[in-house]
Amino acid sequence: MGYAVRRITIVPDDDSGGHCISTPFANSFDPDLANYDGRVRRRLEAQIIILCAGGVAQARVDPDDAAVLWGSEPDYTNAHELATWASGGDGDEAAAYVGWLKCRAERIIWSPVWWEGIEYLAKQLLVTPTMSGRKVRTVIQEGLTSHMVVRGVFRLTEPPAT
């Protein structure tokens, strides 16, 4: 989604069971200056989708636990605050905006291809509980590639024998 992850961990702390640490907004980003352009909008939307994705994935893994769809309440609060800023303070518009972006998160999470990458990352996090953003991208790509190979979308080729 064009959004850089700096680090991801499943090591719990006092606030949560893990974290996805992302690249901070640029110093030039200041909601009070109303510098809302297409680039900022795309970044905000990516951030809100990511904030929604944890709860969506949690509900996919355990539908009976759907009551904690927003089990990470700070994520939902942050998503709503960003949407409120983007909507000029209109709470109804912000709620609709978050609803739409949550729908986008659901489409990504429920996509069989992306889910393979997410599951592969989850398995690898059990082995390596904290990963750099670069490692996360590599692991997801490995999961996606494996999914494509198993389904015959593309084949891995061996280097020619010398």
Is pLDDT above 70 for 103?
Answer: yes
- Among 14-28, 97-111, 141-155, the range scoring the smallest mean pLDDT is 14-28
pLDDT of residue 16: 73
Q: Which of 47, 64, 61, 76 is nearest to 122 (CA)?
A: 61
Is pLDDT above 90 for 60?
Answer: no
Mean pLDDT of 106-131: 90
pLDDT of residue 102: 93
pLDDT of residue 127: 95
Query: Average pLDDT, whole number, for the chain?
Result: 81
86 or 72, higher pLDDT: 86
What pLDDT, in 10s, does the model give residues 38-52? 777 888 898 899 888
pLDDT of residue 96: 97
Q: Name the pLDDT band for 61 (thresholds 50, 70, 90).
A: confident
Q: How many CA atoms lie within 13 A of 44 on its CB side?
A: 23
pLDDT of residue 23: 73
Residues ≥6 apart with Cβ < 8 Å to 3: 22, 23, 43, 46, 47, 50
Is pLDDT above 70 for 83?
Answer: yes
pLDDT of residue 9: 85
Number of neighbouring beta carbons within 10 Å of residue 88:
10
